[in-house]
Amino acid sequence: MSYHSNSSIIQHEGENWEVNVGDRGQYKICPSHLKKMITQLNIMVEKYPRVFCVVFDLHLPEYSENNAIISDLWRSLIPTIKAKYKVKDVGYCWTREQETAESQHYHCVLFLDGKQIRHSGKLRGIIASKWKSVGGSYFSQLEHPDYNIEHNDFQTKQALIYRLSYHAKQRGKGRRATQAKDYGMSRLKRK
């Protein structure tokens, strides 16, 4: 059983981050998942002077008890991104969520070398095409999906972490087979 919190501040790796738990703390998040997302972001920030991040949502045509489709997407998408944008590392995080809809959807974020990419226009097209090719139904065009984080850019990093805290919310999790996960991410390692 995961620990959930409605604290508006999370402390991780020596820094305090504001998180989205509603105006009066009415929403709970899973701090351990959010901390794992922050760690993947921090590893990229340590490796590159600028990190480009894009958030997006993916929807399915029907319910699935497992997450095979999201695994298929990453297996197809990551080599394409590496080849097209000439990047060495691709960080990502995804969250499975299902509230009232008949099928689950996924909240996702990609972390890339910001020297090679600064805008997600073409990248979003690639993601949407790969998602359709593995059996997904549609790719959501979100408002303000791009974040360019310069080294020591606390404000932009805080804005992204606040947004990602929505991905770590308790509500909408758990409607899946026992062996399936609510979260997944890259396994980037520190130098």
CATH number of 49's domain? 3.30.300.330
Which stretch of 55-69, 97-111, 163-177 has the lowest confidence by average pLDDT?
A: 163-177
Q: Is 68 within a domain?
A: yes
pLDDT above 90 for 103 = no
Q: Is 85 within a domain?
A: yes
Residue 85 CB contacts under 8 Å (≥ 6 apart), including other chains: 112, 113, 116, 117, 123
Exposed e or buried b per residue across 22-52, where buried means at least 16 C-beta atoms within 10 angstroms of its C-beta: eeeeebbbbbebbebbbbbbbbbbebbebbb
Taking residues 71-98, report their average pLDDT.
95
Task: Say what the pLDDT of residue 7 is.
Answer: 80
The per-residue pLDDT for range 66-82, each reduced to its tens digit, is 889 999 999 999 999 99
The per-residue pLDDT for range 9-36, each reduced to its tens digit, is 889 999 999 888 877 767 887 888 899 9
Task: Say what the pLDDT of residue 100 is.
Answer: 65
Residue 37 CB contacts under 8 Å (≥ 6 apart), including other chains: 93, 109, 161, 164, 167, 168, 185
Taking residues 114-123, report their average pLDDT.
95
26 contacts 6 by C-beta, under 8 angstroms: yes
The per-residue pLDDT for range 124-168, each reduced to its tens digit, is 999 999 999 999 998 988 899 999 999 889 999 999 999 998 878
pLDDT above 70 for 1 = no
Per the structure, the count of domains in the chain is 1
Q: Is 2 within a domain?
A: no
Residue 39 one-letter amino acid: T
Supply 176's token pair.
């899946």
Residue numbers of the domain that contains 112: 9-185
Q: Is 3 within a domain?
A: no
pLDDT above 70 for 57 = yes
Residue with the bigger pLDDT between 172 and 179: it is 179
Q: For residue 92, which phi and psi values (nearest 5 degrees)?
A: -155, 155
CA distance 181 to 59: 17
Q: Is 166 within a domain?
A: yes
Collapsed DSSP state (helix, strand, coil) of residue 24 = coil
Task: Say what the pLDDT of residue 176 is.
Answer: 54
Q: Is 4 within a domain?
A: no
Q: Is 176 within a domain?
A: yes
Res. 105 pLDDT band, cuts 50 70 90: confident
Q: Is 1 within a domain?
A: no
Task: Say what the pLDDT of residue 152 is.
Answer: 86
Res. 179 pLDDT band, cuts 50 70 90: low
Q: Is the pTM of the predicted complex or chain greater than 0.75?
A: yes
